[in-house]
Amino acid sequence: MGLIKLIETGLPGLLIVEPKVFSDDRGYFFESYNHNDFVKENLDFNPVQDNESSSAYGVIRGLHFQNNPHAQSKLVRVIEGEIFDVALDLRKGSPTYGKWYGVQLNSANKLQFYIPKGFAHGFSVLSEKAVVIYKCDDYYSPGDENGINPFDPALNIDWMVENGKEILSPKDKKNPYLADLKNNFTY
């Protein structure tokens, strides 16, 4: 067995990554990313940028993505707290276009979410505080950034946050619904 286990989500290319964690009475150790493990699994992921965010309970960040030519694949994990992490398939022609998948990531389960190009990404904070880090395989490009309103009724995402406690940025509140979205992803 390698140092990672890949778990299929039912959406092509979207994977949960379970690292092998070595624990003893001193604590734990695991490789949070090893390029060779991804190569062995035929995943073309070459990160160039690390991002980190800290958020309070109820914060919903997303759903965000960058259009081509600066689309990003991401590897997301939580180092403190817990989130509900969501990826939405935006690849025109995909059998799962417009479908989303969510997974709870936290500092205890150490799961990671691999989100390929062509997906929007967002998360809600379920703990008092959460620190999230994610690797991206392309740089931030302001001219290519885009988003979808996380409360699009057609998506019907349950962000698992108590009603009335949701915290969104003004920018995310103004993002369009999926039906009105313009993107350049194809399957």
Spatial CA neighbour of 74 closest among 63, 179, 158, 166: 63
Half-sphere exposure of residue 148: CA atoms within 13 angstroms, side-chain side: 31
| Cβ atoms of residues 13 and 94 within 8 Å | no
Number of C-beta neighbours around residue 167 at 10 A = 15
Tokens of 57: 């309970």
**Which of 33, 35, 64, 97 is labelled catalytic?**
64
Half-sphere exposure of residue 40: CA atoms within 13 angstroms, side-chain side: 11
Q: Quote the CA–CA distance of 74 and 61 in Å, as a whole number.
A: 15
Q: Quote the CA–CA distance of 106 and 145 in Å, as a whole number.
A: 27
- Coil/strand/helix, residue 71: coil
Residue carrying the six token digits 């059998």: 95
Residue 134 annotated among the catalytic residues of the structure:
yes
**Which of 28, 134, 139, 177 is labelled catalytic?**
134
Residue 70 annotated among the catalytic residues of the structure:
no
Active site residues per annotation: 64, 134
